[in-house]
Structure 1
Amino acid sequence: MSNTRRSRTARRTREHAGGEPAWTAESIRALGATTDLRTAAHIFGLAMSTAYLLAKNGRFPVPVIRAGSQYRIPVQPILAALHLDPDPSQPP
């Protein structure tokens, strides 16, 4: 298992009823400035085929950056879409 995958798994602490790890605001923030489409799809609970279709048609729930054949998803809009505080260190 790669270090990136291992660290993502370690960041997810709670579990859904189905046994899948849940994403917390902290674990999403820990992804950095951007993440891949697979991770963003998982956060939103989307199947990969749906995520690719939405991204291709400009209908993914947050902005998508296309870099060649890859999609990158900014983390701040994910937090905003989920109504999570983008930066807890900043006062309201």
Structure 2
Amino acid sequence: MSFAEAFDLPLCIDLRTAARAFGVCPGTAYKLIRLGRFPCPVLRVGWHYRIPTAYLLSALGIEERPVYADDLESGAAHAAQLHNTTHY
């Protein structure tokens, strides 16, 4: 998994995606969970495992997401639009 793919992940991911990020097969990931040795916290939701992306990135040594100029510009434009609609 590339850095760009890691930064585009949703808030929570499935076990297959997390296994790919760590470079292990899904079978190994399930085994690590059963042994309590998966590299980050895992949530059990019904019959499925979910991994919060923040924990995954932290376990991979990625503490902060990069900020891009486009993100700042679109965020500033959105904030300005909100400001203009809330003032009378």
Moved beyond 4 Å, runs of 4+: none
Superposition RMSD in Å: 1.4
| Separation in structure 1 between the aligned mates of residue 5 and residue 35 of structure 2, nearest angstrom | 28
| Separation in structure 1 between the aligned mates of residue 64 and residue 7 of structure 2, nearest angstrom | 8
Runs of 5+ unmatched residues, structure 1: 1-22
- Give the helix-richer structure, 1 or 2: 2
Q: Is the 8 A contact 1:79 1:85 kept in 2?
A: yes
Count the aligned residue pairs. Answer: 67
Q: Which moved more, 1:51-60 or 1:66-75?
A: 51-60
TM-score by length of 2: 0.67
Identity %: 43
Runs of 5+ unmatched residues, structure 2: 68-88
TM-score by length of 1: 0.64
Residue 88 of structure 1: SS of its match in structure 2? coil
Find the partner of 2:6 among 15, 19, 28.
28
Deviation at 1:26, TM superposition (A): 2.5
| Separation in structure 2 between the aligned mates of residue 58 and residue 86 of structure 1, nearest angstrom | 26
| Separation in structure 1 between the aligned mates of residue 62 and residue 21 of structure 2, nearest angstrom | 13
